[in-house]
Structure 1
């Protein structure tokens, strides 16, 4: 399908360019089977996440910092899923694997916000667990409602500002190519489509800022969470077995969620960097893993591992079905 190509030098016309996702080629009638699977996956993700969010809103016993942070984490996962799955459903239904560059940048913003805010909220949750273990008597004095609001503002606004700056830098690069060999748009996709030969300095600045972006939004949170848990593990080695079990029960949902999302993000980073050399099947698995697994598993992990959520769910279920 022919793309509406604009002159490379016309930087103001980038919103009218059309990109083609080449990985959807050759699906044929199989796309209807995939469409059914995608619809089920997306519905399961939405239902599981919205159920936990409504539970947190409904039950006053869950109006605590830990669950407020969890609400924000789940909301971030829903944003990530919604930035990807509806677009896939539209492509499979219409057999038109196209997206405007404007729409591509919007998808980059939503998916990058999902990743950046997810890591920052996971870091804030690690801090919350750290305070609850090391300062249990002062916990409520430290984690005040104002402090919780401030932490959430910082955890969400800073990643958004960093991502918007990256998108602005990328939008200054005119396009020379229009085929995307991925299932969705990311910043490296658009940079790879740009006219690098005539805008070498701009591209280098973009790449340097991209390295800062990855270090700040991915590397730093992982380091802070690992340091936090290193101190918690060191403390747990000095206390009784009963107290150690309690510490593990308190932290296990966050640890599992953190490891799950970190591994998915690192796989996605590998996928973004080495995409051209990967087989199509591996390409698809790595890309879907990042956007499918964490949002779908997080409410399940917290629902199974957190006693207060289980109890709240049981109360609601008894009220509905009695």
Structure 2
């Protein structure tokens, strides 16, 4: 056990001197952030103001777009400040605030995707009972659980991490991560590791299993159903599956980086892999659904072209 020290700030050691290129990186990150804001806000407004889109599927999509805005806001302003700064440090309270934001974003994303797959399962497998099964109260309850449980889970996670006695303050990342802080601890971290495993199972594994189960049922109905049923399934499920695969691969990169030594990997590649699911998903999701969901695409096209 090392000597515990009072830590008031963390040093983010993954940053490196980019010289004059830092202004180029700043411009790229700022442009990406503005695109994310514009794309997600546009689709949120489209869903909210059009009564024809006040259906469960689109309400869950609206929740998804709100989460993309929430997650990207927890990262991009921080990245922009760090890119222009010569000293890459972050205070302990802000570090924990960022962990809360990013980790809850990930959890809400998986929960939201699981709820959306359940909605598609009911719509395709039980179309006649869909309207009576997916009532407004049930939709509201599912959205509430999608947001409330992740926030509660992260509060517990941080309440276990914050009392730890730390032997250092250097985090080898470009943003704060819970496991990166746990690795700095001098005190016993068995409870943190056990809860971290439970949190991963509940927030990632269980939603993925639910999605797998619903899609097995959907495929079974598609193979035995009519061509119209198959077309409906393909049109509504393709963007959902693409979004799920993109986000899952990004999370896998992040988990592997956190748990294993990646010092042999080039620094720039490490940074890009760690940022992938936090930067690509918020932009990928609205663009994908905006293009693939015909009702949203038509309304967006009318708005952008100035048609009534």
Partner of 2:303: 316
Structure 1 residue 181 and structure 2 residue 167: aligned?
A: no
Distance of 1:321 and 1:131 partners within structure 2: 35
Structure 1 residue 164 and structure 2 residue 147: aligned?
A: no
CA deviations 1:94-150 (Å, max 9, x no partner) are: 323110011111000000010000100111111110110112122111111110111
- Residue 275 of structure 1 and its aligned partner are, at CA, apart by 5.0
Deviating more after overlay: 144-153 vs 236-245 = 236-245
- Residue 22 of structure 1 and its aligned partner are, at CA, apart by 1.2
Contact 1:18–1:178 (8 Å) recurs in 2:
yes
Query: 3-state DSSP class of the match of 1:154?
Result: helix
Structure 1 residue 117 and structure 2 residue 108: aligned?
A: yes
- Residue 246 of structure 1 and its aligned partner are, at CA, apart by 2.1
Contact 2:246–2:277 (8 Å) recurs in 1:
no
Unaligned runs of 5+ in 2: none
Q: How does 1:252-263 map to 2 (within 5 A)?
A: 252-263=238-249
Q: How does 1:210-225 map to 2 (within 5 A)?
A: 210-225=196-211
Distance of 1:307 and 1:298 partners within structure 2: 15
Q: How does 1:1-322 map to 2 (within 5 A)?
A: 8=4, 17-195=8-186, 199-200=187-188, 203-277=189-263, 278-318=265-305, 320=306
CA deviations 1:15-38 (Å, max 9, x no partner) are: xx1111112132222211111111
Contact 1:303–1:309 (8 Å) recurs in 2:
yes
Query: 3-state DSSP class of the match of 1:272?
Result: helix
- Residue 9 of structure 1 and its aligned partner are, at CA, apart by 6.9
Contact 1:166–1:209 (8 Å) recurs in 2:
yes
Query: 3-state DSSP class of the match of 2:11?
Result: strand
Contact 1:268–1:286 (8 Å) recurs in 2:
yes
Contact 1:48–1:299 (8 Å) recurs in 2:
yes
CA deviations 1:227-279 (Å, max 9, x no partner) are: 11011111111123343122211211211111111111112211221255343
Contact 1:174–1:194 (8 Å) recurs in 2:
yes
Contact 1:38–1:89 (8 Å) recurs in 2:
yes
Distance of 2:274 and 2:120 partners within structure 1: 31
Q: 1:184 to 1:151 in 2, by over 3 A?
A: same
Distance of 2:66 and 2:229 partners within structure 1: 32
Unaligned runs of 5+ in 1: 1-6
Query: 3-state DSSP class of the match of 2:245?
Result: helix
Query: 3-state DSSP class of the match of 1:193?
Result: coil
Contact 1:48–1:300 (8 Å) recurs in 2:
yes
Q: How many residues align?
A: 305
